[in-house]
Structure 1
Amino acid sequence: MKLRLTLTALALIGTALPALAEEVNVYSHRQPELIQPLVDAFTAETGITVNVAFVDKGMAERLVAEGDRSPADLVLTVDIARLMQIVDAGVTQPVQSAVLEANIPAEFRDPANQWFGLTTRARIVYASKDRVQPGEITTYEDLASDKWKGRLCTRSGLHDYNVALLGAMIAHHDAAYATTWAEGLKANLAKKPEGGDRDQAKAIWAGECDIALGNTYYMGQMLADPEQKAWADSVNVVFPVFQDGGTHMNVSGVAMTKSAPNHDTALKFMEWLSSDEAQRIYAETNNEFPVKPGVPRSALVESWGSFTPDTLPLSTIASERPEALKIMETVDYDG
């Protein structure tokens, strides 16, 4: 059976055929090519087929509409906000697993066992090698300083990655402080927020701004792309910290659906994704940080240097999402 099935094909599996004991059906926010090495390794080791359907938008709504008839066993997402959207929609179930609890630190899993982080990534600063001196950026709070006026680029303030960062700022300070900080970021923008994180590195390369917010793993993607390598080569990777904490972290994660027609094999896949082998594949192919302690990072990631991850629980950051969205809309960040 092919790795990637259309949503229609997966729906037919759930409605026209009985569940197969040695299959796992996955709805994924992640591009199939990013997780195919994991799927191949798992199937080679266990003989279990993994069917992946890429769902860019509306995953929670689709699962709600499908209800108990959903063929999906697991969902893979790229951000704590999307994980929480699915959990809040009431379409997941708690998973009790000693393996997951042993492999995944508490700050990277849901206290109620509804979701589990699989990899982490840092929300960092891309800084021009030519126009920003080493040591000029130390904290996220400093990004709102007047010295960066007209020098900052970001993607939309309403994007999940930036909303999560703002949520962490609320948790570390309070909503009033976070509002002032968001206003400061907006005042420092060199141009209207647009594009993705890689576009911000391109803007620095083009001289449109000097610093930008971005996720760590995009650096690996740019360096591997001949058309984008110059963008990555033009910036330094800087790991800011909160004044009372560390570098902001987010996760890619997994949750089991409430319907889960292949519960037992789905659990095997979840547990395997937290194993040394799967974590190594994540590190080497996607340049993400393994969530399991002791699994080494890729050589490229190691070359960026050490940093202190923030220990603020992701569940706390997720709880601040509504307030963070409200702040971004109030300050009209994208306006």
Structure 2
Amino acid sequence: MMRTILKKSCPPLSTCALMAMLALFSVTACGPSEQEKNSKGVVNIYSARHYDADEELYDLFKKTTGIEVKRIEMKGDLLLERLKAEGNQSPADVILLVDAGNFWRAQSAGLFQPVQSAKLDASVPKNLQGANKDWFGFTKRARVIAYDPSRIKPEQVATYSQLTDPSLKGQICVRPSSNVYNLSMMSGFIQEWGVAKAETWAKGVVANFARPPEGADTDQLKAIAQGQCAISLVNHYYAVRLQRSLDPAEKAIAAKIALSFPDQKGEGTHVNVSGGALARYAPNKANGITFLEFLVSPPAQAIFAKANDEFPILTSAMDDNSALKGLAGFKEAQTPMTVLGINQGEAQKVFDRAGWK
């Protein structure tokens, strides 16, 4: 207000000075608006998540803390490239990503900074954190075997290794090997089995392909329902969403599919994460940490479970989602999430040698 007045053509100096003083007094006397008093600043979120439920998370965070949420959403690869290009001028406070492989890529590019938080340490299992406490998993997703129970018996798909059985020739649909979900799964197998066994497995699965790899996880489920194949590898929540859908066509797909959580008598089912990290150059560092801590709170965890069908790290948050709760309690592979990133280069080479395009 003062600058606007002083830029005008003024009467004598004393009058201008008086006007400026009155303007300053007016601003001071009025004080901040109610909105300003209730605001505790902003948190800038760069997110690779594209779920409607996240709107509910942001609204609840603002209501709970008074911190305004500003965000940018785009695919993971593009998001990381943007952060690299912005460098130390980036406004990002929090980075939300899916899959440990993407966290490893971002970590390797120096896009995170460590977080010292007793709340996060107590809430997030050690194998679901970055090695330097620079990222934290808030939900889990299992890479399961989806199958047509009218054509495949449960005992035929009780392990990942069984997918190489010649009796399943022409029965398997998959998405491309370059997808980060598949790369992380193979990274876990390399850790558990070694490169040679992992490559033999991949070649055996390729020999049983019903078609060349294509599409996303939901496309694989549709292909099973349409009879194009009988088996696929998918993240569990895609199937749960179809089961809970109000769309009759999607419910019809779900009715034709069963899920196997493999290797319950062995290493356990491959699990990955969705989570967040504090950006390296976060201008609102305290608010960024507050947001990360909010994501492990019971209300936020309940939103993850109810709306996204991801397994929350807080198991009690599944109470309102009977479909998800019915799948819980399976044995999880304990592969450290960091390994799923470190082995990705080798995982792609294994897939390439096996002919899994």
TM-score, normalised to structure 2, is: 0.85
Q: Give deviations 1:103-155, integer Å, cap 9, x for gaps.
A: 11111111211110010010001110211123321111111121211101111
- Tell me the CA shift for residue 329 of structure 1: 1.9
State the 1:241 CA deviation.
1.8
Question: Which residue matches 2:21?
Answer: none
More helix by share: 2
1:287 aligns with 2:309: yes
1:207 corresponds in structure 2 to 227
Does 1:170 pair with 2:190?
yes
CA distance in 1, matches of 2:251, 2:328: 20
* Rounded Cα–Cα distance in structure 1 between residues aligned with 2:40 and 2:93: 12
Taking the aligned partners of 2:246 and 2:227, their CA distance within structure 1 comes to: 20
Given the superposition, is the C-alpha separation of residues 307 and 245 from structure 1 closer, same or farther in structure 2, using an over 3 Å criterion?
same
RMSD of equivalent CA atoms: 1.6
Query: Cα 1:304–1:92, aligned 2, differ >3 Å: closer, same or farther?
Result: closer
**Deviation (angstroms), 1:331:** 2.1
- Cα distance in 1 for partners of 2:152, 2:190 equals 27
Aligned partners of 1:318, 1:242: CA distance in 2, in Å? 24
Specify which of 345, 351, 357 is matched with residue 322 of structure 1. 345
**Where in structure 1 are there 5+ consecutive unaligned residues?**
1-19
What's the counterpart of residue 302 of structure 1? Answer: 325
Q: Could you say which residue in structure 2 is the equivalent of 1:35?
A: 54
SS of residue in 1 equivalent to 2:263: coil
Q: Distance in 2 between matches of 1:260 and 1:232?
A: 42
**Distance in 1 (alpha carbons) for counterparts of 2:147 and 2:106:** 35
User: Where do 1:65-80 residues align within 5 Å?
Assistant: 65-80=85-100
After superposition, give the CA deviation of every residue in 1:246-271 in whole Å (9 maximum; x if it has no partner). Answer: 11100001011111011001100000
Residue 45 of structure 1 corresponds to: 64
Q: Which residue pairs with 1:123 in the alignment?
A: 143
Residue 233 (structure 1) aligned with residue 269 (structure 2)? no
Q: In structure 1, the residue corresponding to 2:157 is in which secondary structure?
A: coil
Question: How much has 1:306 moved relative to structure 2?
Answer: 3.6
> How far did residue 332 of structure 1 move?
2.5
1:26 offset after TM fit, Å?
A: 0.7
Larger Rg computed on CA atoms? 2
**Equivalent residues of 1:77, 1:252 under 8 A apart:** yes
| Contact 2:47/2:74 (8 A) holds in 1 | yes
The structural deviation recorded for 1:32 is: 5.1
Return the match for 1:254 from 270, 276, 294.
Answer: 276
3-state SS of paired residue (2:156): coil
1-structure distance, mates of 2:139, 2:300: 10
What amino acid is aligned across from residue 238 of structure 1 in structure 2?
S
Say if 2:262 and 2:268, in contact at 8 Å, map to a contact too: yes
Q: Which amino acid aligns with 1:254?
A: G
**What are the superposed Cα offsets for residues 56-79 of structure 1, whole Å, 9 maximum, x if unpaired?**
132222111101110111111111
Correspondences of 1:44-193 after superposition (within 5 Å): 44-56=63-75, 57-193=77-213
Contact in 1 for aligned 2:306/2:318 (Cα 8 Å): no
Query: Residue 141 of structure 2 aligns to which amino acid in structure 1?
Result: R
Q: Is the 8 A contact 1:107 1:311 kept in 2?
A: yes
Query: Are the equivalent residues in 2 in contact too, given 1:75–1:255 (CA < 8 A)?
Result: yes
TM-score (norm 1): 0.90
1:14 equivalent in structure 2: none
- Structure 2: state its 5+ residue gaps: 1-38
Return the letter of the residue paired with 1:313: P
Amino acid in structure 1 at the alignment position of 2:347: A
3-state secondary structure, aligned to 1:100: helix
Q: Following TM superposition, where does structure 1 have runs of at least 4 consecutive aligned residues deviating by more than 4 angstroms?
A: none
**CA displacement at 1:200 relative to structure 2:** 0.6
Answer yes or no: is 1:277 the counterpart of 2:299.
yes
Alignment partners' CA distance in 2, 1:68 and 1:222 = 42
How far residue 44 of structure 1 moved from its aligned partner, in angstroms, is 1.1
Shift of 1:327: 1.0
CA distance in 2, matches of 1:244, 1:131: 25
Count matched residues.
Answer: 315
CA deviations 1:260-297 (Å, max 9, x no partner) are 01100110000010111111110011111011354335
Percent of aligned pairs sharing the same letter? 36
Matched position secondary structure for 2:211: coil
